[in-house]
Structure 1
Amino acid sequence: MRLNRAGDEPVHARSPLRMRFWLALWGTLWMIAGTVFFVIVDEPVWAAVTAALAAITTVDMVVVVRHIRQGPHFQPGRDVPPYEPIREDAEPPKPKRLP
């Protein structure tokens, strides 16, 4: 079953890395605040959980910043044209025969 699409998103999908960065920053700030709160009210288990989540979101931010700095390969800007969509009338590639 073929679906009509505007482009070839699975092959050349673009990721909204800047939005992911800001959401991770927002989550990190809330987790740090939660950690401080649970330390103050003497809840060590919840403090550990929120501290672990703060560490995970911090690692996510580092990965996102790394991908953003790698350039248009990971985060194309407005100056990078969209990829050509798959044409319906194009012939599918022929499978290679094994010797």
Structure 2
Amino acid sequence: MRTGNEPITARSPLRLRFWLSLWGLIWAAGGTAAFALAGRPGWAAACGVLLVIVTVDLALVLRHIHQGPHYQPGRNIPPYEPDHG
């Protein structure tokens, strides 16, 4: 359903982002450990930075999920009207 105000009322698929972040967390942690054990500090650092980014994203997604239906509306909640104030 297009209402014409999608950038303001866009809904994020938080559960999908949760599972993708969890998958990225596993791979980044594994990559960091594997490259550290292989003696590749540059790649281990890169995977470590990615691990931090994925962890922050996962924390934000969980925060939004726990904030309730305003951030994760169901199909029965209509789009919000934009704030014209």
Q: Same fold (TM over 0.5)?
A: yes
Which structure 2 segments of 5+ residues have no match? none
The percent of aligned pairs where both chains have the same amino acid is 51
Which structure 1 segments of 5+ residues have no match? 86-99
Please, what is the CA RMSD of the aligned residues? 1.8
TM-score in terms of structure 2 length? 0.83
Q: Deviations over 1:31-87 (max 9, x none)?
A: 111011101110011101101101110110000000111111111123x422389xx
TM superposition outliers: structure 1 runs of 4+ over 4 Å: none
Structure 2: distance between partners of 1:42 and 1:35: 11
Q: How does 1:1-99 map to 2 (within 5 A)?
A: 6-7=2-3, 8-78=5-75, 80-83=76-79
Three-state SS of the structure 1 residue aligned to 2:29 is helix
Instruction: Name the larger-Rg structure.
Output: 1
Q: What is the number of residues matched between the two proteins?
A: 80
Tell me which residue corresponds to 1:96: none
Offset, 1:19: 0.5
Task: Considering fraction of residues, name the structure with more helix.
Answer: 2
